[in-house]
Amino acid sequence: MRDEALFQLLLRLGDNALILGHRVSEWCGHGPYLEEDIALANTALDLVGQAQLWLGLAGEVEGKGRSADNLAYLRDASGFRNLLLVERPNGHFGQTLMRQFLFDAWSLPMLTALGASTDTRVGDIARKAAVETSYHLERSTDLCLRLADGTQKSHDMMQEALDDLWPYTGEMFLGDGVDTVLADDGLAPDPTDLRGAWQKTVQQLADVGTLTLPDGQFAHKGGKTGRHSEHLGYILSDMQFLQRAYPGATW
Amino acid sequence: MVSPETTRPSTDQIRAWLDIVPDPEIPVISLVDLGVIRDVQWVGDTCEITVSPTYSGCPATAVINFEIEAALRRNGVESITLKRQLSPPWTTNWLSDKGRANLEAYGIAPPQAAGGPKHCPQCKSTNLAKVSQFGSTPCKALWRCGDCLEPFDYFKCI
C-alpha cells in the first residue's frame, strides 16, 4: 500500500511538472518580447527536467520497467494525475503568469515539505526542484505585481485572470486516501497543511498589487485521480503524437 | 608483475584531464570549474565519476556526461561509470575561483551572494539594471549596464 501511494505521489508531482512545462513551452516563439520568450522557455525546461526526475523514480517504484519517457508519452488522459490548474489553456500572457504564480506559491512549500520526506529519493529530488521553483516564484510574483499594479487595463486583465483561475486552486489542498497513507508514513505533507503558506503568499500579491481575492469556495477537482478537463486530451495529442505515430522513435 | 594500482592513472590525474574539458555552453570554464564533478574514484578497475546536474532540465547535462566519457577514453581509461548525485543540489558556490575569473574576462558576470552582479564585466560600472531573470541558458540572467549600455549575461546565484 505504501509503494502504491508513493507511485501515485510521484505521478502527481511528475505530471504537474510535465503538463505545466508543456503548457508553458507552447509560448516558445510567441512571447510578448524576446527576453520573456526566453524566460518562458527556460521555466518550461526546468519543469520538464523535474518531470523527468519524478517520473523516472515513479517507474522505478512501480517496478514494471516503465521509464520516464514511457510514462510521459504512452499513458492516456485518464492515467494522468496532474492538477486541473496546470492544464488550463495559456490564455494571454497575464493569465499564463497568474497560473504560474498560483502554482509556484503552492509548489514551493510542497517541495520544501517533501525535502523532509522519509523516502530519501523523494527528498533529494524535492530539494533540487525547490531551488529552481523559488526562482520561478520570484519571477512570477514580480511580473504579476508589475501587471496588476500597472495600467488600469493590465490591472483589470490580471484581476480577471485571478477570478478565472481561482476555482482551480482548491484542488491543491484537497486530500484523499492516497494522501492519508503518504502523510501517515511521513512520505509527503497533508495537503491541507499547505494552505496557510499559500494563502499568505497570494494575499501578499493581492495587497501589493491592488487585486481582490475572490471569496468563492468552490473547487473543481478530479485531476489527482485521473478525471480531467477536455484540455488535457488536446495537450496529449500534441505532446505524444510522435511516439504514438512512430513508436520507439529516437534521435 | 605490475599491480593495477601502478598502471591506472591517479584520481588527481583524472581531475586534471577533466579540468581541460570545456563546459558545452560556456566554453571558457571547465567541468571542474563548474563544480559538477563531485567525486572521482576507482572501484576495482572501473573509474567512477560522480556528477551533479546544474539545472534539472539543462540540455547540456547529457553532453557533459558524454564529454566526461570521451575525455577519459582519449586518455586510455576504458571502464567508466557515471553516477548522478542530486543531493546536495548543485550550487553556484561550487564554481572555482579560476572559473569565476574566466567568466568575467569572457563578459559573463560571475554569481554573487547578494543576488545580482557586482559590476559590469565590460566597463566595471555599478550602474546596472536587470532585464530578465533568464538569459541565453538556464544558468544565466540578462542584465544591462547603465553607463556603457551593453547588455550582459549574469551567472545566476543558486
Per-residue pLDDT of chain A (251 residues; tens, 9 = 90+): 899 999 999 999 999 999 999 999 999 999 998 889 999 999 999 999 999 999 999 999 999 999 999 999 999 999 999 999 999 999 999 999 999 999 999 999 999 999 999 999 999 999 999 999 999 999 999 999 999 999 999 999 999 999 999 999 999 999 999 999 999 999 999 999 999 999 999 999 999 999 999 998 899 999 999 999 999 999 999 999 999 999 999 87
- pLDDT for residue B5 is more than 60: no
Look up the ipTM and state it. Answer: 0.85
CATH tag, B4-93? 3.30.300.130
pLDDT at B70: 96
CA distance A49 to A22: 11
Task: Please report which confidence band the pLDDT of residue B4 belongs to, taking 50, 70 and 90 as the band edges.
Answer: low
- Asked if B132 and A35 come within 8 Å (Cβ–Cβ), the reply is yes
- pLDDT for residue B143 is more than 70: yes
- Asked if A49 and B56 come within 8 Å (Cβ–Cβ), the reply is yes
pLDDT at B137: 82
- Asked if A35 and B134 come within 8 Å (Cβ–Cβ), the reply is yes
pLDDT higher at B29 or B58: B29
* Mean pLDDT, all residues of chain B: 92
Instruction: Find the DSSP H helices in chain B.
Output: 4-7, 11-18, 31-34, 60-74, 97-106
CA distance A213 to A197: 15
Which pLDDT tens digit goes with each residue over B87-117?
999 999 999 999 999 999 999 999 998 889 9
- Asked if A48 and B136 come within 8 Å (Cβ–Cβ), the reply is no
| Interchain CB contact of A125 with B (< 8 Å) | yes
Instruction: Find the DSSP H helices in B20-123.
Output: 31-34, 60-74, 97-106
Instruction: Find the DSSP H helices in chain A.
Output: 2-25, 34-62, 68-73, 93-114, 120-148, 152-165, 177-184, 195-208, 230-239, 241-245
pLDDT at B136: 81
| Interchain CB contact of A161 with B (< 8 Å) | no
Nearest CA of chain A to the CA of B67: how many Å?
18
CA distance B48 to A91: 48
Fold for A2-245, please state it.
Ferritin (1.20.1260)
pLDDT at A197: 98
pTM for the whole structure: 0.93
| Chain A residue with Cα closest to B115 | A135
| Chain B residue with Cα closest to A47 | B57
Question: In chain A, which residues have their Cβ closer than 8 Å to the Cβ of B53?
Answer: 128
pLDDT at B113: 86
pLDDT at B130: 92
From B37, B19, B29, select the one nearest B107 (Cα to Cα): B29
- Asked if A135 and B156 come within 8 Å (Cβ–Cβ), the reply is yes
pLDDT at A235: 98
Task: Please report which confidence band the pLDDT of residue B6 belongs to, taking 50, 70 and 90 as the band edges.
Answer: low
Q: Domain ranges in chain B?
A: 4-93, 107-155
- Asked if A47 and B57 come within 8 Å (Cβ–Cβ), the reply is yes
pLDDT higher at B135 or B76: B76
Helix or strand run (H / E) with residue B50:
strand B46-51
Cell of B34: 563548474
